Structure 1
Amino acid sequence: MAELVAWLNEGDLDSPVHVRASMAHLNLVKIHPWADGNGRTSRALSTLVFSREALMPSEFSSIEEWLGHGQNTYRYYDMLKDVGGEVWSPQRDAGPWICPGAHHMQAQTAKRRIEFFRDAWLLLVDQVEISGLDKRMAFALMPALAGGKVRRTMYQRDADLNSDTAMRDMKAMVRTGWLRSHGQARGRFYTAGPAMDPVKAKMKTITKPLHNPYSTR
């Protein structure tokens, strides 16, 4: 660990930051100094190396989210086993581990999320006004569009309304088909209604798929 800390502070400072971050990640997880949490801490250390270079915010430099998606977790552990071996093996080739693809995909994911909420908000405001409702109702429709449950109190807070106005707005959105009501009294919540379908369809057409520029496939 002392050798790793010394390297983090002084070693290979001229190397590309993604190489240093990847090697910091690999070395710490293979030293395996704790009984649990070595993987999470190693990935956090990788993000720290990026942060020390002031390269990008953690939303883009961290690959934690990407590694937890779908089959990526299994590929990550398979690569760790192939490169690192069963025991500490510093003589093994670490080249395959230095893969910027995951960072690129994470950056695309974060960028796409920002663009999705930007475009969806503008589209909702436009469509809500066309339907004769107040554009403030987009505060309630946005989380519903993303697949979440909406509560009157949440809308009231986000749109900075009093309870009576928020309640009237929720009823109007249900009446016009923008939202569906579920449950009763304090347990009531709302989800996307049929009027949201054209907005969902439009968002699918303008949301671009992710592309790994380092993929050989």
Structure 2
Amino acid sequence: MMHRMKAFIHQKDNWPAFTWNSNDFLDLLSEARNLQGRLIGKMETLGFDLRNEALLDTLTLDVLKSSEIEGEFLNPNQVRSSIARRLGMEIAGAVESDRNVEGVVEMMLDATQKCFDPITTERLFDWHAALFPTGRSGMYKITVADWRKDTTGPMQVVSGALGKEKVHFQAPDSDLVEKEMTRLIDWFNNSKVDLVVKAAIAHLWFVTIHPFEDGNGRIARALTDMLLARSDKSNQRFYSMSAQIRLERKGYYDILEKTQKGDLNITIWIIWFLNCLINALNATDSVLTRVLFKADFWQKHIDTVMNDRQRKLLNKLMDGFDGKLTSSKWAKIAKCSKDSAVRDINDLIDKGILQKEAAGGRSTNYELKGMGM
């Protein structure tokens, strides 16, 4: 019976005295550290404008994927525009952003751009308020900028679609949350553990407590990014853990559940985290490829005559266009007539910049030549 009562790690007598076997992941940690250093070095050779472009791409991806993990799909243009505005970058085709987009961006930038500032209860409450500007999660009113109250029963961590949820573990009771978070915040600000290992532990510890009624996953990932930025000694982000966790989501929930139901030796969690980080660092090649393609493209076409609409749409295509490009979409985005859109497109085809997609449908789609889109 006592075993049933202590099913989760936060119920163990010596919680939260985590232990781990460093020798089991020393090679992985060295590989992650090596990749971090090489990436920062590579980015420093790019020059200011290209580095900003890569930074904007990475931050946009991070915000989009962190929300996607929670089943929320944000508008990529709004996210990109919001980040660019806050970082003082000029981008083509900037749009206004919804309050919920602004809130997620605000939290993530506070975590990464001010990564060396300490965490406080107030700061976490500010992040939570930014995530839920209307005081609601979907249709439901929730407790915002305060620890959860558990008025509708125990906090369970679930994944899966509505009606097919899988319960992974149950968090500590709400009357314990304040004490638990005080202990975590003190450790976060003062512990001298290696910063990459610390990011793994902080993520697990925060998710275990699940201190808020909603938004815990996004805040856990912001804290992770914050410590990884410290480990890089840079507030500029060029890789996305959220994007990688999104790809490895099933494995993430599996290892989370296994760790929650195990003992306080969290070696298997740290190993999973380091593998995920290594995959995230290796995945930056696609961001770099796009950024370098764009720089090379404009260098090659420095003397090519184009109007503002064409430049705007080409930039959009290279930034990761949502869906297929048609003449109708061109007209809508460029705010011009369909005839003008067709003329713009045909002109770029004649100049060898655009081509018709091979797979035709009811409407003709266009793509950039030479960019494997």
How would you bin the TM-score normalised by the shorter chain?
0.5 to 0.7
Aligned residues of 2:207 and 2:217 also touching (Cα < 8 A): yes
Query: Displacement of 1:78 after TM fit?
Result: 0.4
Aligned residues of 1:125 and 1:135 also touching (Cα < 8 A): no
Match of 1:45 in 2: 223
Which structure has greater helix proportion? 1
State the one-letter code of the partner of 2:304: D
State the one-letter code of the partner of 2:236: P
Separation of aligned partners in 1, 2:235 and 2:285: 13
1:41-85 CA deviation, whole Å, 9 max, x = no partner? 11111112223453463342x41111112xx10000001111122
Does 2:242 match 1:97?
A: no
Aligned residues of 1:8 and 1:24 also touching (Cα < 8 A): yes
Aligned residues of 1:124 and 1:141 also touching (Cα < 8 A): no
Alpha carbons of 1:55 and 1:39: their partners in 2 closer, same or farther (altered >3 Å)?
same
Query: Alignment partner of 1:68: what SS?
Result: helix
Query: Displacement of 1:119 after TM fit?
Result: 3.1
Separation of aligned partners in 1, 2:284 and 2:318: 20
RMSD: 4.1
Determine what percentage of the aligned residue pairs are the same residue: 21
Match of 1:106 in 2: 280
Separation of aligned partners in 1, 2:260 and 2:234: 27
Query: Alignment partner of 1:178: what SS?
Result: strand
Aligned pairs for 1:162-201 (under 5 A) are 168-174=343-349, 178-179=355-356, 190-192=365-367, 196=369, 199-200=370-371
Aligned residues of 1:145 and 1:192 also touching (Cα < 8 A): no
Alpha carbons of 1:40 and 1:66: their partners in 2 closer, same or farther (altered >3 Å)?
same
Aligned residues of 1:152 and 1:166 also touching (Cα < 8 A): yes
1:120-159 CA deviation, whole Å, 9 max, x = no partner? 6636975x89xxx9375676456179564444468869xx
Match of 2:205 in 1: 27
TM-score normalised by length of structure 2: 0.38
Greater relative contact order: 1 or 2 (C-alpha under 8 angstroms, separation 6 or more)?
2
Query: Displacement of 1:21 after TM fit?
Result: 0.6
Aligned residues of 2:195 and 2:230 also touching (Cα < 8 A): no
Match of 1:6 in 2: 186
Unaligned runs of 5+ in 1: 158-163, 205-217
Does 2:118 match 1:118?
A: no
Aligned pairs for 1:10-89 (under 5 A) are 10-11=190-191, 13=192, 15-53=193-231, 54-55=233-234, 57-60=236-239, 62-69=240-247, 72-85=248-261
Alpha carbons of 1:189 and 1:41: their partners in 2 closer, same or farther (altered >3 Å)?
farther
Separation of aligned partners in 1, 2:319 and 2:238: 23
Query: Displacement of 1:110 after TM fit?
Result: 2.5
Unaligned runs of 5+ in 2: 1-180
Query: Alignment partner of 2:211: what SS?
Result: coil
Separation of aligned partners in 1, 2:256 and 2:299: 47
Separation of aligned partners in 2, 1:30 and 1:116: 37
Match of 2:123 in 1: none
Alpha carbons of 1:155 and 1:39: their partners in 2 closer, same or farther (altered >3 Å)?
closer
